[in-house]
Amino acid sequence: MIRLCAWCKRLLGFKEPLDDVRTTHGICEECLKHWGKRKGETYMIFQDDRTPEQKKWLICMMTDNFMARWGEAKGGPSYAGWAFSDGEQSRCESWVRHRGDAKRVRIVLGSYRPPAGPGHCHIYVWDGKDRA
């Protein structure tokens, strides 16, 4: 398996079984310094689907109960956000608010970072065409 840093996607190495091409996640030293505490403690897992250009967009963030026990983030809060382009705010926000699992929906800047500590944050890219 291919082992990647869950934050910056840097290659950390390979893990048995080597013929399994799926990816597994860890944390690199640099991201550990930035995000984490000591090894073995829980930390915020940050996944970001945006391109550099999309990082200038606003994000509709929510706190998500459904994912709260996801993987290594167990016990911590889970945050999900959708970056949207100009003019898409009302449609994107309305879609997020109508999700059954959405809590604390808010609009944040593209430079948003989740708080440190245990948890999971995933920033997706809103595609209004698929969600009309």
Q: Is 12 in the site for Zn ion (CB under 5 A)?
A: no
Q: What SS3 class is residue 128?
A: helix
Contact segment (CB under 5 A) with Zn ion among 10-18, 61-69, 70-78, 94-102 equals 10-18
Query: Among 1, 2, 3, 5, which residue sits at the site for Zn ion (rule: CB under 5 A)?
Result: 5
Report the distance separating Cα 23 and Cα 11, nearest Å.
Answer: 10
By CB under 5 A, what part of segment 40-99 binds Zn ion? none
Q: Is 32 in the site for Zn ion (CB under 5 A)?
A: no
Complete DSSP assignment for 58-117: EEEEEEESTTTT-GGGTTS-EEEEEEE-TT-HHHHHHHHHTSTTEEEEEEE-TT--PPSS
Contact segment (CB under 5 A) with Zn ion among 11-19, 21-29, 66-74, 91-99 equals 21-29
**At closest approach, how far in Å is the CB of 31 from Zn ion?**
3
Query: Among 1, 2, 8, 125, which residue sits at the site for Zn ion (rule: CB under 5 A)?
Result: 8
